[in-house]
């Protein structure tokens, strides 16, 4: 089998649960959402998460 045939063949065997991952633990996401819903700005939410040892951008927090 040529290399190109192998690359364009059926890739149904890939387990997307394995490939896709969440960088941030679910509990941290929940805390971030709760803080923002409680009225903290994205910047203040980011700072609070940094105190917990989690480095995330305001954009990442917004996308949660």
Provide the CB-side half-sphere exposure for 15 (13 A, CA).
3
pLDDT band per the 50, 70, 90 thresholds, residue 2: low
Residues above pLDDT 90, as percent of the chain: 56
Q: How many domains are contained in the chain?
A: 1
10 falls within a domain: no
Q: Residue 64 above 70 pLDDT? A: yes
Q: Tell me, yes or no, whether 14 lies in a domain.
A: no
pLDDT attached to residue 30: 92
pTM of the model: 0.65
| pLDDT score, position 36 | 92
Question: Is residue 51, in this structure, part of any structural domain at all?
Answer: yes
User: Which residues span the domain enclosing 33?
Assistant: 24-64
Reduced 3-state DSSP string for 20-41: CCCCCCHHHHHHHHHHHHCCCC
């Amino acid at each position: 089998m040529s290399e190109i045939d192998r690359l364009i063949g059926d890739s149904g065997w890939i387990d997307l649960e394995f490939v896709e991952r969440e960088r941030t633990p679910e509990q941290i996401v929940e805390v971030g959402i709760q803080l923002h819903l409680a009225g903290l700005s994205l910047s203040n939410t980011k700072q609070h998460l940094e105190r917990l040892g989690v480095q995330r951008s305001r954009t990442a927090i917004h996308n949660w």
